[in-house]
Amino acid sequence: MKRLLTLLAPVCLAACQAPPTSQPTSSEVTISQVQTTQAHQQLLAQSGVLNTPTGATPGAISANSQRVCIDWDGDAVELLSTLAHQRGLNFAYTGVRLPLPVSVHVRDITFNELLRLLGPQINWRARIDQEPLRLRLDFMLPLPGVLA
């Protein structure tokens, strides 16, 4: 029995001395992942999926009665600024600018109807005023003694 243990012990211990199998280093794995990600991003950019605006707005708007299609989820100030410039109007806002999140997904409505549709979404903080050469957004003043 001792002879058997004497012969098996060196064989078992020799296995511990074997060199470890080579595994890729973390930097090699990271470089590979970066290259894969860059290839995917390039493919998406070439197909037009990447870097497309999230809010689709119409081209030039020539009249208040012109029909428009809008898909927008974002700040009302940005939307109104874009619409004013497309309508050929100057855009201005007065008061302290606050976030005004709006969600508009409409098809085939007039520019005036769109402005009226935005009103209820922002009336609690601002008011839209259209003048002949300017579209203005008036932010409401905070009520005295009321915490925001």
Specify the 3-state DSSP secondary structure of 91. Answer: strand
Structure confidence at residue 48 (pLDDT) = 60
pLDDT in tens, 75-91: 999 999 999 999 999 99
Structure confidence at residue 41 (pLDDT) = 72
| Reported confidence tier of residue 105, pLDDT bands at 50, 70, 90 | very high
Q: Has residue 5 got a pLDDT over 80?
A: no
Mean pLDDT throughout 48-73? Answer: 73
The answer to whether position 11 is within a domain reads: no
Q: Has residue 52 got a pLDDT over 90?
A: no
Residue 126 belongs to what domain range?
67-139
The answer to whether position 46 is within a domain reads: no
Q: Is the dihedral of CA 4, 7, 9, 12 positive or negative?
A: negative
Element of type H or E holding 119: helix 111-122
> 67 is written with which tokens?
């029909």
The answer to whether position 52 is within a domain reads: no
Structure confidence at residue 147 (pLDDT) = 58
CATH number at residue 93: 3.55.50.60
Q: Indicate the number of domains in the chain.
A: 1
More confident residue, 147 or 36: 36
Structure confidence at residue 49 (pLDDT) = 54
The answer to whether position 71 is within a domain reads: yes
Residue listed under structure tokens 């090699």? 28
> CA 100, CA 30: separation in Å to the nearest integer?
41
